[in-house]
Structure 1
Amino acid sequence: MQPVTPEALVGRLVGFVTALDAGRRWRIAIDGAPATAPGDLADALVGPLRAAGRPVVRASASDFLRRASLRWERGREDADALFEDWLDAGALTREVLVPFGPAGTGRYLPSLRDPVRDRSTRAGTLQAPAGAVLVLDGTLLLGRVTALDLSVHLALRPETLARRTPTADRWSLPAFARYAAEVDPERAADVVVRVDDPRHPALVLPV
């Protein structure tokens, strides 16, 4: 593992992206449990990528959840449902990831459903510019969505995850245990960052 500062981590990830061909669109995902704040890291990439000359589109998997009646069919605190049913991976792939792919049109839907109000956002499709970088954040993404060009997983030890998960959300911990066992995101991701201490992240470098 290579210890880095949070600022250096952003710089390293931006370097990975800017090394990619600027002539096509790219799909970058930041995956991690809510305790790792994947959205914060995704947000932190936007400014530096734009400063490097790359158009950026920010999206969040939380805007592509299924209706509450489907998510909560087995109860509001069912960890298996969280793992299997909450994310509308088909809609996210169809409406966002495929359009950003090599053969895509660039016409994408920025959001599908407001997860709080449980209503359609009624968002219209937008056109991503040539060379745009999609920066997507989410939880339990790997293995559910595969149309990605670069995946970053924010990793925590199980005991750290349990400690940093609010009491009201501890019912979700078995979902992350399943994710580790069945998907093994630390092997599935292109880049792994250990964030047991968010002030001192560490890049896990390949052997």
Structure 2
Amino acid sequence: MSVHEVTAEGGPRERILAATTRLLTEGGEEAVSTRAVGAAAGVQAPTIYRLFGDKQGLLDAAAAEGFAAYLSDKTEVEPTDDPVADLRAGWDLHLDFGLANPALYLLMFGRRRPGTVPPPAAVAGFEVLATHIHRIAEAGRLRVTEERAAQLVHAAGSGTTVTLIGQDAGRRDTELSVLAREAVIAAITTDAPAAEAPGPVGAAVALRAALPGTTALTETEQALLREWLDRIARQ
């Protein structure tokens, strides 16, 4: 799904962001300049500087808008009874968004500057992924820690999407995404709940996921048990 541009009838900020997104879509980041954006949005350069600071601030705001659109797509999907199938669907949605919005996706995922704080929508998007992973852990089907699983899915999914964006659209090997997706899922999940496949790591991960639902332990006891379970799960 492509990012929906803000209507030109909005205020200066909305018009500037809509113009930035349009220029990104048509010509990539190189096409975005304060002069080009100002001309497309019908505003003067001082207005852009006042609202966004500089070109980088403008690009950061466009990335935040892109994350918001991406998050809207992600949260529209209703979960099913199969959390692993839901993770597959989320991966495919991520890829579809990137291929439909390549310039914006590369701005969002391809050039994060070290030390910068991700926009709130990016944090919320990762939380959606973490929720998928947590549901798999609750089902007893996660073979690594939730944190490691989420980081692996995020890294592999975004890396695969960036790779496919770089390929010629007419010869794009989308099977690469399927292979990467299934390899990651095989690395982090089991075919059956941990209770049916004995092993300390799977059992520790499943119990760690279920801890928030118990009231038998004090906060101190829960914290200590989480530490022990995390230690087992990292083996």
Q: TM-score range by the shorter chain?
A: under 0.3
> Rg: which structure is higher?
2
TM-score computed with the length of structure 2 as normaliser: 0.24
Answer 1 or 2: which has greater helix percent. Answer: 2
Answer 1 or 2: which has greater strand percent. Answer: 1
| Larger relative contact order (CA 8 Å, sep ≥ 6) | 1
TM-score computed with the length of structure 1 as normaliser: 0.26
